[in-house]
Chain A
Amino acid sequence: MEILRIFSLFVMGFISFSIIGIMSGWLDRKITARLQWRVGPPWWQNFADFIKLTGKETVIPEGANQFLFLLAPVVGVFAVTVTGAILLSSVFFNPIRWDLFIFIYLLMIPSVVIFLAGSSSGNVLASIGAGRELRLLLSYELPFIIALLVPVIKSGSAQIQQILVYQLENGANIGYVSGTIAFIVALLAFQGKLGYVPFDVSEAETEIAAGTFIEYSGFPLALFKLMRWILLSVGISFLVIYFMAGFRNAVAGALKYVGILILIVLIKNTNPRLRTDQILKFSWGWLTMFGFVAVIFALMGY
């Protein structure tokens, strides 16, 4: 029974989060296009992209580590799907008591996988991208974890479910000063996790030609795209549950989700790409400082 339950959770997490993620990816492209006074792609565009990539030839470069090269995207999709399944199971269907720490670990895996992909493809630009990805991971992870501490301090528990229950009783975390600051810090760090502008150094298209993904084609590339989409939807849902009292009301929940998505797209479209050292300075300086400020506010009860 237990196996069956885990399996069904996994499948459900995969289907729901990939579809929501693909649609979010489309919304991202559409909003970007509208901001630039363009019309933008139709709603099925990302589905078409995915299907197209599955039908293309997979080229494996000569100097690459074949095993890692092909393993990386599979592990990536698996990791984000597990994150989604855990998120589902910690909120719906007689919740399991998952701790916050498992999310911190699992949300780190996509970056590690991208690093693996870059370093195994045997391309100079890809390895530059891989190095940058690791530096990026080191810089945003610190403020991200500090920001996630705030709800833990407020509710006195590191269990996702407890944090949610606390919010339903005492109002959303984002309603407090500490919660607002922590949310902004976490959102900016999440932008880095997604690899969106201004933190897209690892795959800068115009600079190192898609960086870590440069050698990927066909089905592995499709898997990487899928990983990105699922990460987008899982991450935003996580933020909604963690800071905004979750999806209890379906309409309000959807609005919260789309609101965060629009914020991310706006940040993406109004900022230039930062250099690696600027990112490090920004996240270990400003973001971490604001994270600590939020923690202090939370300890004082604001």
Chain B
Amino acid sequence: MALDLKTKALKKSLSVFHLSTGSCNNCDIEILDCLTPRFDIERFGMTLAGSIKHADVLLVTGIVTVKNLSRIKVLYQQMPKPGFVVAIGGCACTGGIFRDGYQMAGPLDRVIPVDVYIPGCPPKPEAMIAGIVKLLEKIK
């Protein structure tokens, strides 16, 4: 029962930490769109966190670059569990248009476990919200 309540509360109040690991910045702007009056995800209790220690969800945009590889791993380890990882944009999901780049260190799921993929270049805010709904269904 107590555990049940905590999971329910978790579903209703996701704190999101936003990490850009070498994206073209377009995905990042689309993420910020979710916070604007038009979409306003604070309605569902989601807020952007300033520190990874406060976060439940790690949003990653962009390919994993060689330089950022170790940092992503550290950030993932620092996230207090239960925590989830969402890959946003074609770059984070597969490598996208940068997959043959010299800085490419593998798509995100080869580095850390990914819970939800939201493809698109960039994905629309609606698509991101749909992806988060999928994530909520996953949380048990």
Chain A contact residues, CB within 8 Å of chain B: 29, 33, 36-42, 44-45, 47-52, 54-59, 203, 205-206, 209-210, 213-218, 221
A59 touches which of B9, B13, B80 (Cβ 8 Å): B80
Cβ of B6 and Cβ of A55 under 8 Å apart?
A: yes
Majority secondary structure of chain B interface residues (helix, strand, loop or mixed): helix
Q: In residues 10-55 of chain B, which contact A (Cβ within 8 Å)?
A: 10, 12-13, 37, 40, 42-43, 45, 49-51, 53-54
* A residues near B6, Cβ cutoff 8 Å: 51-52, 54-55
Name the residue in A33, A52, A209, A215 with the highest tally of chain B Cβ atoms < 10 Å from its Cβ: A52
Give the number of chain B interface residues (Cβ < 8 Å): 24
Cβ of B80 and Cβ of A39 under 8 Å apart?
A: no
Q: How far is the CA of A55 from the CA of B6 in the complex (A)?
A: 6
Chain B contact residues, CB within 8 Å of chain A: 3, 5-10, 12-13, 37, 40, 42-43, 45, 49-51, 53-54, 56, 78, 80-82
Among residues of B, the one whose C-beta sits closest to the C-beta of A36 is B37
The 5 A-B pairs at the shortest CB distance, nearest first, are namely A55-B6, A205-B50, A51-B9, A210-B50, A217-B53
Cβ of B54 and Cβ of A210 under 8 Å apart?
A: yes
Q: How far is the CA of A33 from the CA of B9 in the complex (A)?
A: 21
Q: How far is the CA of A50 from the CA of B10 in the complex (A)?
A: 10
* A residues near B40, Cβ cutoff 8 Å: 33, 38-40
Cβ of B51 and Cβ of A29 under 8 Å apart?
A: no
Cβ of B45 and Cβ of A56 under 8 Å apart?
A: no
* A residues near B80, Cβ cutoff 8 Å: 56-59, 217-218
Cβ of A48 and Cβ of B51 under 8 Å apart?
A: no
Q: Within the complex, what minimum Cβ distance (angstroms) separates B100 from chain A?
A: 34
Q: How far is the CA of A38 from the CA of B34 in the complex (A)?
A: 11
